[in-house]
Amino acid sequence: MYCLRFLRKKKLTSLSTLSFVTLTKHQTFTQTYDHNNVIASNKLIANYVRSGDVDSALRVFDNMTVKSTITWNSILAAFAKKHGNFEHARQLFEKIPEPNTVSYNIMLACYWHHFGIHNARGFFDRMPVKDIASWNTLISGYTQVGMMDEARRLFEVMPEKNCVTWSAMVSGYVACGNLDAAVECFYAAPMRSVITWTAMITGYMKFGRVELAERLFHEMCLKTLVTWNAMIAGYVDNGRAEDGLKLFKTMLETGVKPNNLSLTSVLLGCSDLSALQLGKQVHQLVCKSPLSRDTTAVTSLISMYSKCGDLKDSWQLFVQIPRKDVVTWNAMISGYAQHGAGEKALHLFDEMKRENMKPDWITFVAVLLACNHTGLVDLAIQYFNSMVRDFGIKTRPEHYACMVDLLGRAGRLSEAVDMIKGMPFKPHPAIFGTLLGACRIHKNLHMAEFAAKNLLELDPTSATGYVQLANVYAAQNKWEHVARIRKSMKENNVVKSPGYSWIEINNVVHEFRSSDRLHSELVSIHEKLNKLEKKMKLAGYVPDLEFALHDVGEELKEQLLLWHSEKLAIAFGLLKVPLGVPIRVFKNLRVCGDCHSAIKYISAIEGREIIVRDTTRFHHFKDGFCSCSDYW
């Protein structure tokens, strides 16, 4: 499965062989070809330029007795591409006996890449000859730096337009966030290339207009890999990872080979769905491709395994990467932090610094998260202060959210409020949502009302504010307050996102909601839970009715607790997952206190390892204990 080391050795052998063969061919060719043969010399220069060997190209150029404008343009292009060689390119350009439009276009691109769009515009205005490529180069330059007004003015006076022109305008408007202008330009285009269609699909996906993107995709006669990637990434970014994975399978069936971007999007989708088996299949694809040597692709695999609850495979991949970048370190540190292995995460952070790898703001989010999940409050405060002082990293809302969560979990609610008040920017709703969650844990009604008030002022449509406050009231049996909040939600058209859990069995994701009545094997699941409940009670389990958030009798409350979505998913896993294989369940909300207690009993009674990922972290249940030590 882990193919990196093998492929690295194979790569070194192949490269040495390739170098010898290439060198031999070069020596043979340069010894035999005629320096007076302009066509042969031009081909040789072009090959050298294409491979990035400018010195060899220049040697051939200097040995030529006769040079055509094509010769000059080829060597000019070599200098234009090479960073820091603008002056050489300019001097060479001035020596061209008869520069043509191609010569001027190469220098135009050179001005743009070395000195920016304003200098490129100056050169463009001085050009004695221009063709459609000249105009496209400048328009593309304007769109890439977001100067759409200038691009539009140039576009309108352009004597002739082609697909490249229209594609540049559509892409520019999409990048600048002007979807209406992009749509107008797309439908006004008399000709559309695959690039134009793909740019519009990207725009629709960027603004959440998934159905319109789908319609364009299905209308396209010809699709490139870039088009498929735009759709797959768009699905994943818009919370429709399942559709993205289905499309990826369709893409493979049509014979289109994925690249780095394809696999990165698919792995992100696997992470979102916690589809470990499919993620492993994607891993096999990576192993069979050159991407096995690509740090970005392997880092995506590390992240996928961590988010799917398989930290062992994450680590094995991590140690095989010879040169790790900051993203790779962040992925592994975050993985340990999410799984509650705070000590390992912090040890890895220290190792990262010893390797002279400079941490970034994401690194510190992971470090603070590691402290959070292990209750290391004072150490987290030290890291938070050192971030600016020792590393020059500006604090961001994500860092403050971690600190508020950490202080809140520790019961230091007043300090959490002071942290919010001391933020150098306006608090976002999630900050108060985090504080509200801590208030529920510590049953602080006064602080909960303060947090909910601020949250709903910032985001009146937030279901979190209403639901969390209602839960605090329900835990204290203040049912009239709960009823008032639910009435307010209805009046304000606020819809609560339902809680659900899911488990992957044989490449199929099974989803459960509390009191589920739709699953085809519900009878067997209920039978399993009823038997488990009797065994749990004999072992000392007492249902925590505080988490049955309904004003009903105790017997019905117990039944409602037994049918929580995570318990249904675990029971199904016990029926389907072979002995010796961990049961992995995922939940879109925080696991409730009663379920957490019950799963500890289930792990001991059934002798199974149960891994549950909720919105805060991973919980590893085994032999009646949880890795979080009941701190989450």
DSSP 502: E
Model pLDDT, residue 261: 87
The Cα 384–Cα 346 span in angstroms is 14
Q: Which regions of 180-255 does DSSP assign to beta strands (E)?
A: none
516-548 residue pLDDT tens: 788 889 999 999 999 999 999 999 999 888 776
Over range 380-401, report the average pLDDT.
Answer: 95
pLDDT at 14 over 60: no
The yes-or-no verdict on residue 18 having pLDDT over 50 is: no
Sheet holding 610-613, edge to edge: 508-513, 500-505, 583-587, 610-613, 618-622, 625-626
Calculate the CA 566 to chain-centre distance: 26
The segment(s) of the chain belonging to CATH 1.25.40.10 are 395-497
Q: At what angle do helices 194-206 and 210-219 cross, to 10 degrees?
A: 160
Q: What integer pLDDT is reported at residue 467 of this predicted model?
A: 84
Nearest to 388 by CA among 416, 359, 415: 359
* pLDDT grade for 111, boundaries at 50, 70 and 90: confident
Q: Rounded CA gap, 357 and 325, in Å?
A: 8
Is the Cα dihedral 562, 566, 569, 570 positive or negative? negative
CATH superfamily of 395-497: Tetratricopeptide repeat domain (1.25.40.10)
Q: What pLDDT does 26 receive?
A: 47
CB burial readout 608-631, b (16+ within 10 A) else e: bebbbbbebbbbbbbeeebbbeee
For tokens 């463009």, the residue is 124
Distance of CA 268 to the CA centre of its chain: 6
Q: What residues have CB less than 8 Å from 32, skipping those under 6 apart? A: none
Q: Which residue has the higher pLDDT, 46 or 424?
A: 424
**For residue 34, pLDDT beyond 80:** no
The model's pLDDT over 52-97, given as tens digits with 9 standing for 90+, comes to 777 888 788 788 878 888 888 888 887 776 655 777 778 888 888 8
* Pairing label, strands 583-587, 508-513: unpaired
Q: Out of 27-31, 305-309, 312-316, which region has the weakest mean confidence (pLDDT)?
A: 27-31
Q: 453-501, pLDDT tens digit by residue?
A: 898 888 888 888 888 888 888 878 888 888 888 888 888 888 877 889 9
For residue 503, the SS3 value is strand
Q: Tell me the pLDDT band of 198, cut-offs 50, 70 and 90.
A: very high
Query: 548 is written with which tokens?
Result: 């049955």
CATH code, 38-130: 1.25.40
Give the separation between CA 100 and CA 528, rounded to whole angstroms.
81
- pLDDT of the residue at 7: 35
